[in-house]
Structure 1
Amino acid sequence: MSDKSSGSVIPPRGDPQDAVHGSRRTGRTAAVIPAAGRGERLGPGAPKALRPLLGTPVLVHAVRAMCRAEAVSLVVVVAPPDDPGAVTEMLAPAGLPPGIEVVVVPGGASRQESVRLGLAALPPDVDVVLVHDAARPLVPAHTVDAVAAAVRAGAPAAVPAMPVTDTVKRVDPDPSRAPGAPEPVVATVDRAGLRAVQTPQGFARQVLAEAHRVHADTGGSEGATDCAGMVERLGHPVVLVPGHEEAFKITRPLDLVLAEAVLARRETLAHDR
């Protein structure tokens, strides 16, 4: 069990990975994984990030995904605040790639607070921060690197995204309407200009820190549903890079089934090589 007042560190194995240098920013890139939420839509039981996926916790898969990226040299996992030591023990034997430092810190009552605590744990030489959902355990390394590269090239924020393929209807969001009652359609939205965003979302560290500082001071994120939305509300530009179909979010039981199928396919392909 770790002291809740400080982070637990899993020491890096082997030589530390060289820092990634870009034309605009020359420090290190770190990934922050908030994993303190319950994920109740997945059903009763352990927090979503700690649920098994082919026998290995979802969180371990997500940490491995960040460690596989060439850009990342540090991963900060923001654990459930009541027992961060359990996450440290879970990750220690996980067979993470060598040369990557992994730090576990206790999280907060909300995702926003957990990300802020993860930011506070970063050393001074980190200037690019990737915020990644623990519930997106299958994001490919090349997607992670593309996000980091966009920020290194000078973007204040970069987000992976996919085109919206379903027809989208706008409805009247009447809070007095009974759950499950028919909803009147207001308009059909042109999906050509729509994108569904994924993670990791990448940021210049000072920009993300500013967003969390401002929104903490104002008492909330004012309707923003992700870190990129908080940055947008400060007037900073956000760019999109191509996402990947395997970077989907595990939210409901059916998503676990799909994730298992993707992992099984990956193992088959690796075996056949």
Structure 2
Amino acid sequence: MKKTAVIVAGGTGVRMGSELPKQFLLLKNKPLLFYTIDVFLKAYDDLEIILVLPEAYVDMGQEIIDAYFDKDRVRITIGGATRFESVKNGLQQVHEEAIVFVHDAVRCLVSERLIRRCYEQALETGSAIPVIPSSDSVRLITEEGSDALEREKIVLVQTPQVFHSKILVPAFSIEQKGKFTDEASVVEAFGIKVSLVEGEQNNIKITHPIDLVMAEALLPSSAL
């Protein structure tokens, strides 16, 4: 089955307090984006990447591709104003039946093992959403205040979120709604249930400056 990864790198770096989008910040002297692209290309020799970037940073993204990777395996397309629009733009480049990974560019510590586990699950069930248990107590904010939730019934959602293209591409034809925070919510709104798969604690999303410090400590030596 053809394999395509849509890597969404549309962030602006506001929460990082940086003028440079966080996907281009340096980690061990290489951009975060390098590690994300690298692990997907290593996971499967026949996988291709569609890299979704803000228009103003296409040239910077192309420089990274030219410096480190086989440019025939990585294509760039322009992102939209929202994640939904950016993913939709990426999916417009999927022209053949495939297993499609959608991944946050700033989850640069994702492992080949998790990528393969998600692929195998999606091949079997049509979808694979990596999740990890919540280690914190959680509460639901209500009009009256807040309610405690059962932590054992809460999971935290990660990427890559992986689907058969026959499910994901049509799902993104529906109208965008505010509740769409990830691809799983889009597919469920389209009327299709999703399958969960075990995620990884180290698969953190680089959002705040402390995350960059953690990523440097967690980065495996094999990635350098």
TM-score, length-scaled by structure 2 = 0.92
Q: Deviations over 1:214-235 (max 9, x none)?
A: 12xxxx2241211111111122
Map of 1:110 onto structure 2: 82
How many Å separate the matches in 2 of 1:231 and 1:173?
29
Map of 1:166 onto structure 2: 136
Q: Deviations over 1:53-98 (max 9, x none)?
A: 111111111111211213761011011112412211122112x4x7
Asked if 1:203 is matched to 2:163, the reply is yes
Q: Label 1:134 to 1:226 Cα distance change in 2 as closer, same or farther (>3 A).
A: same
Which structure would you say has the larger Rg?
Answer: 1
How many Å separate the matches in 2 of 1:243 and 1:117?
26
How many correspondences in the alignment?
A: 224
Structure 1 outlier segments of 4+, above 4 Å = none
Cα RMSD, aligned residues only: 2.1
Asked if 1:59 is matched to 2:33, the reply is yes
Percent identity of the aligned residues? 32
Q: Label 1:262 to 1:149 Cα distance change in 2 as closer, same or farther (>3 A).
A: same
Shift of 1:103: 0.9
Map of 1:135 onto structure 2: 106
One-letter amino acid of the structure 1 residue matched with residue 171 of structure 2: A
Partner residue of 2:4 out of 30, 34, 59:
30
Check whether the contact 1:29–1:71 (CA below 8 A) recurs between aligned residues: no
Shift of 1:206: 2.1
Question: What secondary structure, in the 3-state scheme, does the structure 1 residue paired with 2:90 have?
Answer: helix
Shift of 1:241: 0.8
Check whether the contact 1:29–1:129 (CA below 8 A) recurs between aligned residues: yes
Question: Runs of 5+ in structure 2 lacking a partner?
Answer: none
Q: Label 1:242 to 1:99 Cα distance change in 2 as closer, same or farther (>3 A).
A: farther
Map of 2:191 onto structure 1: 235
Shift of 1:132: 0.2
Asked if 1:194 is matched to 2:137, the reply is no
Query: By percentage of residues, which structure has more helix?
Result: 2
Shift of 1:100: 7.2
